[in-house]
Structure 1
């Protein structure tokens, strides 16, 4: 094979083996196609945001010296809360999100330093992007059989769902870890957590008791008939709290562990379906976040969180195979950026365009600045129906469409009967792993 050196390359794509490229390429193309139709966030569509400061504590025990999270530093931050699935009724049982943007502390800088996407629940249900693709095309019965074999996935799914009286009274976790590089050259894995300032608000706040092996297929569990609160009461509550004396306060925490020496142990440490032991790797209080300024609805809607924002001190862990635990974060970072560029009608880098063209999903790029004029196709009806397992994976800024092509020859209708897929198609997914 001869590499085309006439266009800029994306290291994330170059690091992937062929199977990994195929899965991520199909997912990216499918979501990109829907992004061009929907022209807005698909998941976490409706959010409420505020602006404030992150003040790093003057004394931090248990953490080596770090350039970014250095004692006494202060950063401007933006926090955006949202529901994973429900965009019309906050009373639905749902996973809740907290996206955090930390802005650079350089004088006059307005660019983000770090974007973090956190959610309720300490774990995620899929260890790798191959697991996610397989899970996506399986019926509910197959997923339930899988959960019976790996019970901790049952906990990961149900613990993400929360009853909510206030966004400010829940605990949020990154699930996926990053690589920290300290000033002395030491490297460690790190996970992030945002907790309420009030220590009396426990991690079980809003906990949902399981009523089956997995939640209903639709994911959008209706509100109780006796609940008379306004539809978007969580957004109103957050804005009222921000306007109150003292604003909304959180404790920003880190959970760190040394990078294991051997690859097998590293992959276990990166497994996002299993939380780290808090007795072995306790949470470290890093600082306090105070949100005292509400952002307008328009400002909140234009926010875009990019998990690939990184620097040498806080890096994304790469993956070369779709069976590695790091493949979810590595792969989704590329999908996020492609979808955001298309949504904003920004030119796609050549490497991304080629990546989409090589997938099994045909994407009409006629509306994009870099695309040649193509024959206009009749618009298809776009459905906003989607399943809870798609919701939890995508997180902030994700998109999915009415027709999902996740693997070669496999087309899934969102909200349709996934169990009706042929055995041959399922076998193809398993073989690709």
Structure 2
């Protein structure tokens, strides 16, 4: 139970503790090491003393003390006067207010997204620091290796320290250069939670909630900018459907079988309003986030799966592929084309896309619709040869048993 309590606290509060500690210490690596040492201390102390009434406060104070120890061991790189000021701040036992924590999180996002770092490095560093994803998880999101991710993170921390990249929200004239990366980070964080590459759960609810919260903060910082509004709209419209994605026992429920009464009408209404405002602010010249939000809005508006305006969704995917082509968008477009123009049309599009476990699963579904059950069995079997969450793997395994009975 203690291990679970530490894990839950870190999952929910870790980014907030780290963000505030980075502001005080001024060094990402030292702050991360201090938080990690605080976690180790919790795992040693809590089984004996019990989980404290305020675990976040316990971890925050302990992390500050660990940071002091680290700074003393390494004999801080910048003079005694500055070091003394940091020591005083770290020795405090009070917790920062929510407003201060929100500011610290924004500072952390913008620090991770400094233009001297490459876009993949910005995303990797933010996913590591903002939500504590492991290098293996980040590698899954960025479609690279764990070793390459580790090297990327190490180089990023070294560059931030060597270049003395300031830990702050940049002035207005610097925001446009950083905004695309910040939006990409928030969207990547949500994607990592909404569609994990593996693990025991089909959705990381905390990662999704954190991404939505950060999107809210960014939109609050730049309320008249179209891109933050579009990102928030996309997240809200997607999150609105989350309660229906899993059954009461945690099993996958496909879109065509979801109970739409469980969708959040309030989130859908706000998402559509944000999308409309974003499109108006950009003179209706849609970017990738606006197009994805528009696709999500079409699904949200439909009273039923059969009532979905599939031709419009295909049109939007065509636009998205012209603006920001990707294997994921291509795969989703193939599904939409199959609904709008028939199974054979969807299969023809799939043939031109790179195979993946998800690609095999989609192909199996379309083959089954066409009555080609033996081929569907082969495709769904291939989909199991790769990473997937436990609920998704169970769903495909059950479907595979159903298809085998039809061969």
Q: Which of 1 and 2 has higher RCO (CA within 8 Å, sep 6+)?
A: 1
TM-score normalised by the chain length of structure 2: 0.27
